[in-house]
Amino acid sequence: MTPDSPSSASRVRVISLPTAQARREAFARQNTALDYVFHDAIDGRALVPPEHRDLFADGLDYSPGAYGIAMTTWQLWKAVAEDGQTVTIAEDDAIFRSDFQDTMAGLMRQCEPFDLVTWGYNFDSVLRLAMFDGRVPCVTAFDQNLLHGSIDAFRMDRCPVVLMRLLEFYGICAYSISPQGARRLLERCFPLGPTTYPSASLQRGVPNVGIDVAMNSHYADLRCFAAFPPMAVTPNFFDTSSIQNQNQNRT
């Protein structure tokens, strides 16, 4: 299930540090039905290489993990934009419904042309969607503690999934991005700066502590969608996260 190089557009690219063997093994155990390949993440603990320095403005308060995921995301988006093929990207703590790849293509056809479809979102924060062609926003919240005890039920769930217009969410655990979406988000998100973004859902400003925060300010202007209920979840354990490994005020 994990060949050295991807040969199919449906194969999920899983961002993971090359040294994170335990996380890779856990991902394999949790996602036995998934066709995927690991994509070596850039280690943000090292110095930012010269070719990536223009991606970040001075004063950016990112953890090393957040720098790493931002550089890796830029790398993947750039490849999607150049190759002209939609790609699904996941983090290495994502857990997918076992029917994900049997279902995703049909769902994506319903909203083409799209820029981005997120298949999952953090359960410790909010999800803001829009109904009726984006005219009526709605906000939903979740119980992450209950999710932790419901992973098996989630994986085997066959509740019908709909794609709704996306306005705001946190945690990019699994999403599909089109070449058009990659080009648009590359242009809008980079360079990443020390900006505080207004959140209609949280009714306050959210500091830019990760690329998922910066992405939020652009969904409403693009054709972005969210799966509801999700087809991928993350336990989102902060103590083992390779990205959010410092106190970050998202929610």
Which range among 3-7, 151-155, 213-217 shows the weakest confidence by mean pLDDT? Answer: 3-7
Domain locations in the chain? 8-236
DSSP string across 150-189: -HHHHHH-----EEEEEEE----SEEEE-HHHHHHHHHHH
Q: 97: which strand partners? A: none
**What is the overall mean pLDDT for the chain?**
91
Query: In this predicted structure, what is the pLDDT of residue 48?
Result: 79
Query: In this predicted structure, what is the pLDDT of residue 247?
Result: 38
Q: 49: which strand partners? A: none
Query: In this predicted structure, what is the pLDDT of residue 10?
Result: 80
| Confidence band of 6 (pLDDT split at 50, 70, 90) | very low
Tell me the two tokens of residue 90: 């996941």
Residue 125 and residue 171 in contact, taking contact as beta carbons nearer than 8 Å = yes
* Verdict on whether the full-model pTM lies above 0.75: yes
Q: For the residues 137-164, what does the mean pLDDT come to?
A: 94
Instruction: Give residue-wise pLDDT tens across range 34-68.
Output: 999 999 999 999 877 878 889 999 999 999 999 99
Residue 116 and residue 73 in contact, taking contact as beta carbons nearer than 8 Å = no
Residue 186 and residue 248 in contact, taking contact as beta carbons nearer than 8 Å = no
Nearest 5°: CA angle at 205, between 187 and 180?
20
Query: In this predicted structure, what is the pLDDT of residue 2?
Result: 44
Residue 12 and residue 90 in contact, taking contact as beta carbons nearer than 8 Å = yes
Query: In this predicted structure, what is the pLDDT of residue 51?
Result: 80
| Confidence band of 1 (pLDDT split at 50, 70, 90) | very low
| Confidence band of 8 (pLDDT split at 50, 70, 90) | low
Q: 39: which strand partners? A: 15
Tell me the two tokens of residue 200: 């209609």
Q: For the residues 230-243, what does the mean pLDDT come to?
A: 74
Query: In this predicted structure, what is the pLDDT of residue 236?
Result: 82
Instruction: Give residue-wise pLDDT tens across range 107-146.
Output: 999 999 999 999 999 999 999 999 998 899 999 999 999 9
Q: What percent of the chain has pLDDT over 70?
A: 90
* Burial (CB count within 10 angstroms: exposed 0-12, middle 13-18, buried 19+), residue 5: exposed
| Confidence band of 242 (pLDDT split at 50, 70, 90) | low
Inform me whether the pLDDT recorded for 85 exceeds 80: yes
Instruction: Give residue-wise pLDDT tens across range 189-210.
Output: 999 999 999 999 999 999 999 9
Instruction: From the options 3.30.1390, 3.90.550, 2.30.29, 2.60.40, give the CATH code of 8-236.
Output: 3.90.550
Buried b (16+ CB within 10 A) or exposed e, 53-87: eebbeeebebbebbbbbbbbbbbbbeebbeeeebb
Q: How many CB atoms lie within 10 A of CB 12?
A: 26
Inform me whether the pLDDT recorded for 167 exceeds 60: yes
Residue 219 and residue 166 in contact, taking contact as beta carbons nearer than 8 Å = yes
Distance from C-alpha of 181 to C-alpha of 115, rounded to nearest angstrom: 4
Q: For the residues 69-76, what does the mean pLDDT come to?
A: 97
Tell me the two tokens of residue 202: 């949280």
Distance from C-alpha of 209 to C-alpha of 125, rounded to nearest angstrom: 15
Length of the chain: 251
